[in-house]
A and B are shown apart, each in its own frame.
Chain A
Amino acid sequence: MTIHRVIRKVQRFEGWFGGGALLCLIAGLYLGLIGSPPDYYQGEVVRIMYIHVPLAHTSLLGYTILAAGSLWYLWKRDPIVDNMCQAVAALSAVFTALALGTGMIWGKPTWDTWWTWDARLTSFTVLLLILIGYLMLRTFVDDPEKEARYGAILAIVGFVDLPIIHFSVEWWRTLHQPQSISMRGVSISSGLLVPLLFMSVGMSLLFSYMLMVRTQLLYLDRLLHAKKGRLLSQFHLSKSDS
């Protein structure tokens, strides 16, 4: 069975993903905002973590899907995989930006600063820059086949680079400002873990749901363009005949 048919088949269940996301997110939000106690150290501020951590995880998951899809595209050259790559890149960019934004909102009361060159913050910023670069690159290529190929190359190189970027920034950080605002040593109690789990599952389902809808949209868009091209050429042919 080709990947094309697998994707089409999975897409039939997109409603289940959307519904599951809705249920999980409602349960997670209730538990996180009302049903769980405030954190001993951070107080009510900790509740933004129920949004922030799932967003961050999901955007990394998204980039992994992008890299895997890009490898698959370079191997098999299946256009629907490229539609998926384009969809997942845009979604990952949005999720990364939201993760950075919620992180900054959390950082202001906790670290007393909107921004710090923390290793994770910095590597997420670079991740966002790579994703935006990816999306920009795609808009600057005219030929759809080339657009897909170039995008895939950038995605793969970026995926290999991300761990190295993270390590280098981490070393650089420990050199310049050791430990003052590290999160290490803050363990998670089970009361906080349950809503976090719900939110993580819900956010991943939401991401998958949006990914499916957007892949479908881009796929149909491509078909439409192909059909339009065919119709136009037929129209011109019939006109030149008469």
Chain B
Amino acid sequence: MRLKVSHRTEYNYDEPIRYGLQRVRLWPVSGPAQTVLTWTLRIEGAREEVRFLDQFGNDTRLLSIDGEPHTISIVAEGEVETNETTGISGPHRGFAPLWLFEHQTPLTAPGAAIRDLAADVGEGGELERLHALMATIQQRVAYVTGTTDSRTTAEEALEKGTGVCQDHAHVFAASARLLGFPARYVSGYLMMNDTIEQVASHAWAEAYVNGLGWVGFDAANGVSPDGRYVRVAVGRDYREAMPISGILIGNAQERLAVHITVEQ
């Protein structure tokens, strides 16, 4: 499936910026699940300082901001050919060892709720158990925006019973790790059926299954990723795969606007 993605992020500030940095992971790479045909990153009101591959192989750029422009905009867009791989994104690559993904992070640290959830996953084959886990999470955590934020932990989201894709991915990764699977967080895009405008970028989780490699699970939608998914960055949790993270020195207030379209 050939998907056209456009992701525009705009920051408005109410006064000049003394100094700020934005770290951007908005550059998808080709792999078994997708081929990036064209991609551009247009930045206005900020400067690209460096680009590098982070410890997970994500294309990462550091932008700096200072002085006048009260608006900065970051537009990532391009075309990606996705392959139908039944959710399998391939063998493990890179220097980050597989065992690193067995370990929880502050955002996935399990409490009683996650432990119970993992303990309730029945017997069966590895894939079977992971699919059962995904189904349970979809049931237990309703998709409701505005009830969680970027600092909400997996445990908190599960207790609350509501959240967004980020929370579903965290709950899945936390539980899969408890079950002994290396697991990771994937940020990217999803073309929702019948709509071009997307509410937000998307996120899902992957677990490592011996013999298959990394397998994706989108617990927010209860499916494994297919041709409608474009992957951009991976990490052990949201914090490590975040599309944009920043630091701002000074008192300026920030207003954020995001506009995403994904179409065929």
The answer on A and B forming one complex is no
| A residues lining the B interface (CB < 8 Å) | none
| B residues lining the A interface (CB < 8 Å) | none
